[in-house]
Structure 1
Amino acid sequence: MNHWPDCLKNRRCIIDFIISFLPKGGRLNILSSKWKNLRRPPCIRGWIPWIGAGFEFGKTPLEFIEKARIKYGPVFTVIVMGTRMTFVTEEEGINVFLKSKEINFELAVQNPVYHTASIAKNIFLKLHEKLYITVKGKMGIFNLYKFTGQLTEELQEQLQNLGTHGTTDLNKFMRHLLYPVTVNILFKKGLFPTDERKIREFHQHFQAYDEGFEYGSQLPECLLRNWSKSKKWLLALFEKNIPDIKTHKSAKENYPTVMQAVLDLLEMEANEQKSPNYGLLLLWASLSNTVPVAFWTFAFVLSHPNIHRTIMEGISSVFGTAGKDKIKVSEDDLKKLPLIKWCILETIRLRAPGVIARKVLKPVKILDYTVPSGDLLMLSPFWLHRNPKYFPEPDLFKPERWKEANLEKHAFLDCFMAFGSGKYQCPGRWLALLEIQICIILIFYYYDCSLLDPLPKQSSLHLVGVQQPEGRCRIQFKQRK
């Protein structure tokens, strides 16, 4: 370079010199891409091409994120399996994530939906918004009254099988209680099997599918033999039962189930052949988070004697002290027991998903960084919920903090992101909260319960969905007299 003019020895001047020979449009493109968007977030690339940091990241994702936050700050990029994932772990970037027109939800999830439910990308993109509106309408706040009686009856029916006393694993107990309740209400009464062998088979396949969902969303199905087997089993279950679901009419209710509404829309859109696939997606969405939230809420309450005692006093004041008679739970009853809802929301805060994702369509600015187009932008509710600015003493279970939320107007606390936010919030959030509220009321009304094991740690293996427990957690129960 010694024979070049002095001004061209400077790197910026070299590029300016090259640009001067380009057409005007080319100059603008290079200028904007090279200089306006120069500084990207710190990037963890790993040492294996394409796989990147995949092995280290996949072992314990939450721990990996925490170490990266400490080393690189709240915004950083990780390359995993050829995908650039840029994490936003604190409040910086929330407005960009939720409000920017350059960030897209559907493009972020179309690949996972294709891998886990075999729904083609073009079909998903065509139908998603219509299906979202349909499901949101069926399970929205103005239709919750339709589910209260059904949930109470279904839960009482399942509790009758519990017996008068015993010891059981709490996680297993919640599955046995909520699997049939949710399936019978959202799909059709009687869809969930009653034969013991078939019940075990359903549990086996759904748990295998659920536990491998995160891996199944990213890896080829041929590498996940057991997971693929359970996926096919569940799809075959829906294939067999879709005709009955479609024509089923409840003897008590005059309105269609959520799955029937989905089937009606698919028929209108000439995509009936995908009915089992959307059935599988609805099943996973309705069970994968509700069950662990119910588990953790119950465990947190039992591990805090003062909170447990206050809840028991509230239930007795509303429904009486006896535990044998069947009760009806109404919306007015729920309003008299706000502590239960606070406990559920505090549980969700502490065990929130590791990430929710969006696709970057055009470069966006977060702090001093520019996140390039094509990245997956990953907002972390798990870490946002540990920001002491919004949640003082963030690691403590403090349901009373939810007094400050305007729950009557369906507003959560600031920076609470467990259900997402904006256009595509979780459409089933209000029904899930209702189901867990009624579940806790009925268990405590009918049974005296106590923990036999310490509160388990949360698993750090998964980023998607509510954190699962690590290790067993047994309870002892005895029917109230």
Structure 2
Amino acid sequence: MEFISATVIIILGCVARLLFLRRRNLRGPPCIGGWIPWIGAGFEFGKAPLEFIEKARIKYGPIFTVCAVGTRMTFVTEEEGINVFLKSKEVNFELAVQEPIYRTASIPKNIFLKLHEKLYVMLKGKLGTFSLYQFTGQLTEELHGQLKDLGTHGTRDLNSLVRQILYPATVNVLFKKGWFPTDERRIREFHQHFQAYDEGFQYGSQLPECLLRKWSKSKKWLLALFEKNIPDIKTHKSAKDNSLTVMQAMLDVLEMETNEQKGPNYGLLLLWASLSNSVPVTFWTLGFVLSHPSIHRTIMEGISSVFGTAGKEKIEVSEDDLKKLPLIKWCILETIRLRAPGVITRKVTKPIEILNYTVPPGDLLMLSPFWVHRNPKYFPEPELFKPERWKKATLEKRAFLDCFVAFGSGKYQCPGRWLALLKIQICIILMFYYYDCNLLDPLPKQSSLHLVGVQQPKGQCRIEFKQRK
């Protein structure tokens, strides 16, 4: 009898718990799953993730959960959810990215969690606004060299042209002057492997490496390249002021904080972070400007007023010069608004309340800068390229427009954002100063597949350039 009573109590307790959990689940956001366990909505989501996000927002409202490939992703699209994403102490950046970083750079989670704060502080200081003056001259010098190699005239795919200019300039500044290969065969190898790694990064961050043979081969090639060159990078001395490059400063932190030899892995991560977004932003900015004749004309007039009308003299670009050409920075920021990352992510560590819904711990909280930047409530006429909207931003105080979230926000806002903007500004100034440029093709649409990082072009776009006389 006692056994029967105990059994009844246990059964009733289980039923009560199930009812309680079901009631709690009613407070969860609308959930999009699928009929295949673990895969969930993975197939539909993977076909065109940007379009999937917007269709789900229209159908389910400003917050919804997508279950795909064993992961719960809860998307927020309006102010309350955005504020929770950016400001809540119950969401965590490091826990959200530790698995993707392990997959893409082979950095173990325990080492990443141990070093991330220290490396972030170092990068924030090294790449912050008060340190930018150290890079202006270096970038100008490197970009001069790359533009000189273009010759007097030519026709090229704009994306390939930008890669040819920015790959070596960025590598030589951040890692070691002269480190980028100069031999044609080695240059082709670098381009081939970095492009394969970059294009497959999104899939490499989610799937086992054994399923991505081409991507895995390029990842290993890049790691081997760093393995071979780390000793040389470490001992390199600046000929001018004996200052450390960013990679050298990173190696110092690694050596001080851990016995693990992870220099090549962090070198790969720094390489990807410094090139993966700045290259497409430069492509799109040049493309947008050349597609808008009045904006192009105004920029050319500004460059001529600061540097003169001829294109032959070797010019130096200073911070004061950049301040006299605000339209170029406005164009870059407007480009980033229109081609922003598909998602940025945090991990929920404790239950959080958003719009009367409870998001459980373990969910990835997802924000889509691409779609936030297309909300007319925040950005009127959102599909139009309107750099003049950035007049309202107090850029001299390093403040962007409200709800501009391409660089993240809060504690772990992108530490390289100011250097990236500086590099792209100088590149555009020098390109337009030395060459008359025209697009030969319409500007392509962005790919609908890209979630990680700035949107890539869907197709080629040729540019004709002629040296100015």
SS in 1 for 2:366: strand
Tell me, in whole angstroms, the C-alpha distance in 2 between the residues paired with 1:206 and 1:177.
15
Q: CA deviation at 1:368?
A: 2.1
The match for 1:181 is 169
| Matches for 1:431-470 after TM superposition, within 5 Å | 431-470=419-458
Mapped to 2, the partners of 1:43 and 1:33 lie a distance apart of 16
The Cα of 1:18 is off from its aligned counterpart by 5.4
Distance in 2, matches of 1:304 and 1:391, equals 20
Matched residues in 2 for 1:30 and 1:100: separation?
30
Q: How many residues align?
A: 461
Pairwise CA distance, 1:34:
6.3
Are positions 1:257 and 2:242 aligned together? no
Quick check: 1:357 aligned with 2:345?
A: yes
SS class of match (2:237): coil
Deviation at 1:37, TM superposition (A): 6.3
Q: Tell me the equivalent position of 2:205.
A: 217
Q: Deviations over 1:332-356 (max 9, x none)?
A: 0000000000000000000000110
Partner of 1:400: 388
Q: Are residues 1:295 and 2:283 paired?
A: yes
Secondary structure of 1:86's counterpart equals strand
Tell me the amino acid that sits aligned with residue 310 of structure 2: A
1:415 — aligned with what? 403
Q: Which residue of 2 aligns with 1:336?
A: 324
What SS class does the counterpart of residue 470 from structure 1 fall into? coil
Give the 3-state SS of the residue equivalent to 1:219 in structure 2.
coil
CA distance in 1, matches of 2:450, 2:380: 26
Distance 1:30 1:62 in 2: 36
**Structure 1: stretches of 5+ with no match in the other structure:** 1-14
1:140 to 108, 123, 128: 128
Establish whether residue 154 from structure 1 lines up as the match of residue 142 from structure 2: yes
> Higher mean Cα deviation, 83-92 or 127-136?
83-92
CA distance in 2, matches of 1:478, 1:438: 19
Q: How does 1:28-107 map to 2 (within 5 A)?
A: 38-107=26-95
Segments of structure 2 that go 5 or more residues without pairing to the other structure are: 1-8
The ranges of structure 1 where at least 4 consecutive aligned residues each deviate by more than 3 angstroms after the TM superposition are 29-38
Q: Which residue is equivalent to 2:336?
A: 348
> Structure 1: how far apart are the matches of 2:19 and 2:380?
45
**Cα deviation digits, residues 364-391 of structure 1 (max 9, x gap):** 1111211111000001111110111221
Q: Choose 262-271 or 326-335, whichever is displaced more.
A: 262-271
Distance in 1 (CA, whole Å) between partners of 2:214 and 2:315 is: 42
**Alpha-carbon distance between aligned partners in 1 of 2:168 and 2:328, rounded to the nearest angstrom:** 23
Give the drift of 1:272: 4.7
CA distance in 1, matches of 2:108, 2:20: 35
Q: Work out the CA distance in 1 between the residues paired with 2:286 and 2:299.
A: 11
State the Cα deviation string for residues 274-311 of structure 1 (Å, max 9, x = none).
11000000000000000000000000000000000000
CA-CA distance at 1:33 after TM superposition:
6.1
- Paired position in structure 2 for 1:113: 101
Report if the CA contact (8 A) 1:301-1:307 is conserved.
yes
**Conservation of the 8 A alpha-carbon contact between 1:37 and 1:363:** no
Conserved 8 A contact 1:76-1:86: yes
Match of 1:474? 462
Say which SS state the counterpart of residue 80 (structure 2) adopts: coil
Does structure 1 residue 366 correspond to structure 2 residue 354? Answer: yes
Within-5 A mapping of 1:271-310: 271-310=259-298
Q: Which amino acid aligns with 2:139?
A: L
Task: Tell me how far apart the structure 2 counterparts of residues 108 and 128 of structure 1 sit (CA, whole Å).
Answer: 13
| Contact map agreement 1:293 1:466 (CA 8 A) in 2 | yes
Give the Cα separation in 1 of the matches to 2:77 and 2:340. Answer: 13
The one-letter amino acid paired with 1:437 is: Q
1:127 aligns with 2:139: no
What displacement does 1:462 show?
1.4
Comparing 458-467 with 31-40, greater Cα deviation is found at 31-40
Which moved further from structure 2: 430-439 or 55-64?
55-64
Question: Against the structure 1 CA distance between its residues 130 and 30, is the aligned structure 2 distance closer, same or farther, given a 3 Å change threshold?
Answer: farther
CA distance in 1, matches of 2:243, 2:270: 18
Retained in 2: the 8 A contact 1:297–1:343? yes
Conserved 8 A contact 1:90-1:387: no
Paired with 1:471 and 1:351, the residues of 2 have a C-alpha distance of 15
Conserved 8 A contact 1:90-1:380: no
TM normalised by structure 1 equals: 0.93
The answer on 1:227 being equivalent to 2:215 is yes
Match of 2:341, SS state, is coil
Cα distance in 2 between the residues matched to 1:92 and 1:76: 14
> Closer, same or farther in 2 for the Cα pair 1:402/1:32, shift >3 Å?
farther
Matched residues in 1 for 2:443 and 2:83: separation?
A: 35
Give distance in 2, aligned partners of 1:272 and 1:251: 30
- Relative to structure 1, the CA distance from residue 471 to residue 231 in structure 2 (aligned partners, 3 Å threshold; closer, same or farther) is same
Note the alpha carbon deviations across 1:104-140, whole angstroms, 9 max, x for none.
0000000000000000001100110101111111111
Name whichever of 425-434 and 47-56 sits farther off. 47-56
TM-score (norm 2): 0.95
Between the aligned partners of 1:362 and 1:199, the Cα distance in structure 2 is: 48
Aligned residue type for 1:44: I
The code of the aligned residue for 2:366 comes to M
C-alpha change, 1:32 and 1:244, in structure 2 (3 Å) is: farther
Which residue in 2 is equivalent to 1:8? none
Q: Provide Cα deviations, 1:232-255, integer angstroms capped at 9, x if missing partner.
A: 000000000000110001112321
3-state DSSP of counterpart to 1:93: helix
Deviation at 1:190, TM superposition (A): 1.1
Aligned to 1:202: 190
CA offset at residue 92 of structure 1?
3.2
Q: State how far apart, in whole Å, the 1-side matches of 2:149 and 2:171 are.
A: 17
Shift of 1:270: 2.3
Alignment of 1:309-320 (within 5 A): 309-320=297-308
Deviations 1:404-430 (A, max 9, x none): 000000000000000000000001000
In the alignment, which of 228, 236, 241 is matched to residue 240 of structure 1? 228
Letter in 2 for 1:40: G
Contact 1:90 1:383 in 2 (8 A): no
